Amino acid sequence: MNVLDPAGPDAGRLAELSWILFIGGGAIFALVLAITFFAMQGSDRSRKRLSGNWLVWTGGIAFPVAVLTGLLVYGLLLMGAESRPAEPDLRVHVEGRQWWWRVSYEEPDGSRLESANEIRIPLGREVEFVLTSPDVIHSFWVPSLGGKLDMIPGRTNRLRLTADRPGVYRGQCAEYCGGPHALMALEVIAMPAGEFDAWRAQASSPVENAPARGGELFLATGCGSCHTVRGTSAAGTIGPDLSRLGERRQLAAARLPMSAENIARFITHGQDIKPGNLMPEFRFLTADETAAIASYLAELK
Ligand code: HEC
Ligand SMILES: [Cu+2]
């Protein structure tokens, strides 16, 4: 994650501001050190000059007032620079939860496409993230794409972003939310608009789930009380939607790379992998059963 490596105009403006702050702050720090040095080690003449009240008035009052006023005006102009269209091209609802992200894309027909922990966005189109939380305060932050914005229970915050460089950008919950907060990350995949449209059309088409042993075990073990897999009787909403789990790059809020082995480990030893997370461990499953469920889930695409 790198604030100074912007992948869109919003992050670009923040990077510009950051550079000005780093360079300006560095120069002022050097100046203060130099004045301090001369006040302590300089000749009698320069020490006498530096001990006058004028330094307090100029360096202590006038200079900070001028610099901070300039920065404020500059910051306001910079942040208000772009006029936004009334309606974004795409709206993605992101709900911060202890300790993962519920993601749902608003479809043109008003329905929703559910996912979790990974967000795909089309390049060059304005995306509005609708940020909420059902439990405690979280903060949505993808440094390469823009500034951070809190997700506050009972409130809806909106963040507009555009990506103009394809790539995978990692984000992180930036407001301490208890337990495994540090392990609550996400990925944003910025892809060419045409590819995005094709992906979305495919992702929201009805799924046909071939009956598999892993799928039956998944339902029999009760996973469906917390998880949804479209096209099956699993319709729980306490945990992430698993309908297309196998297509995601990462598991459990970017804790581990996606693979059948890691899914199996998470099912039986999730509390070692992500201590405190809200999914119970299923240690009573045999290795064979766990592997069957894991390979079934890894294949959901
Ligand atoms: C009591 C509710 C509950 C039950 C029952 C449950 N889970 Fe979960 N599951 C969760 C929660 C909550 C998370 C999110 C954990 C996190 O990342 O903090 C989760 C996460 C996961 C993930 C990672 C999803 C992702 O987006 O990366 C997988 C895979 C998973 N569960 C599989 C299963 C399987 C298989 C079963 C049945 C053996 C099961 N779960 C039963 C609540 C549950
Ligand atoms: Cu957090």
pLDDT tens digits for range 200-242: 999 988 777 667 899 999 999 999 999 999 989 999 999 999 9
Beta-bridge mates of residue 149: 140
Is the CB of 290 inside a 6 Å radius of any atom of ligand 1? no
Atom of ligand 1 nearest to the CA of 282: 38
Q: pLDDT confidence of 107, banded at 50, 70, 90?
A: very high
Surrounding ion ligand 2 within 5 Å at CB are 138, 173, 177, 181, 184
Give the ligand at the shortest distance from the Cα of 273: 1
Mean pLDDT of 132-144: 97
Ligand 1 in reach of 267 Cβ (< 6 A): yes
Q: What is the pLDDT of residue 158?
A: 95
Residue 282 Cβ inside 6 Å of ligand 1? The answer reads yes
